[in-house]
Amino acid sequence: MQYDRDAVSPWAFFLPIALAVMVGSLVADALGHLMRGRFAEAPVAVVAEVSPAAVAAPEPTPPPAPLPQPVLPEPALPAAPVTEPPHPDAALPAAAPAPSVIAAVEAPSGVDAPRRLSGPMTARQAGESESCINNTVATRSPNGWEQALENDAPVRCEASSP
């Protein structure tokens, strides 16, 4: 016996499944509506006996507590001056310091600032062993880049590529 493709309509499968999904959603919503609030903890009403003397002499209210002082943000480090990229036909500078030297010079002492590394394309062209990819340090491996970890967490950095 050969399967006849036109004998069964595609709707013969789709409509029963769609109807089952709609009925299931309606039943689930109805059950959720019925059960809403049934398992929530209701506050317990407490009735206390109060003597007439306690009602007549109210306790003095304590002075309001002083408001907490707002926390002021720490002053931001001065931003690096914006420089335009060099013209492609212009001559290259004589000797630019290595990015690792720049990172050591620019990091302020006493502040845990992220390392400044070049991006993956610039690092590959310069032959560097470390790069900053997605604000984390990556080390060069034979198959590409691997994320550097310190205490099972990625090491943070800032990309300094143009």
Q: Is residue 94 part of a domain?
A: no
Q: Quick one: pLDDT at residue 141? A: 84
Residue 146 falls inside a structural domain:
yes
CA distance 93 to 10: 70
Q: Is residue 98 part of a domain?
A: no
Query: Of all helices (H) and strands (E), which one includes residue 104?
Result: helix 99-106
Average pLDDT of span 122-128: 83
Tell me, what's the pLDDT at 128?
A: 84
**Are residues 102 and 109 in contact, defined by beta-carbon separation less than 8 angstroms?**
no
Average pLDDT over residues 1-30: 84
The answer to whether position 107 is within a domain reads: no
* Total domains present in the chain: 2
Q: Has residue 69 got a pLDDT over 60? A: yes
Q: How many CB atoms lie within 10 A of CB 78?
A: 6
Structural domain of 28: 12-41
Res 10: pLDDT: 76
Over residues 39-54, the mean pLDDT reads 67
Mean pLDDT of the residues in the chain: 74
Is 159 a residue whose pLDDT tops 50? Answer: yes
Report yes or no on 66 lying in a domain. no
Average pLDDT over residues 26-54: 76
Q: What is the Rg, in whole angstroms, of the alpha carbon atoms belonging to the chain?
A: 35
Q: Is residue 130 part of a domain?
A: yes
User: Is the residue at 52 inside a domain?
Assistant: no
**Does some domain include residue 46?**
no
Helix H or strand E segment including 153: strand 153-154
Exposed, middle or buried, 160 (CB in 10 Å: 0-12/13-18/19+)? Answer: middle
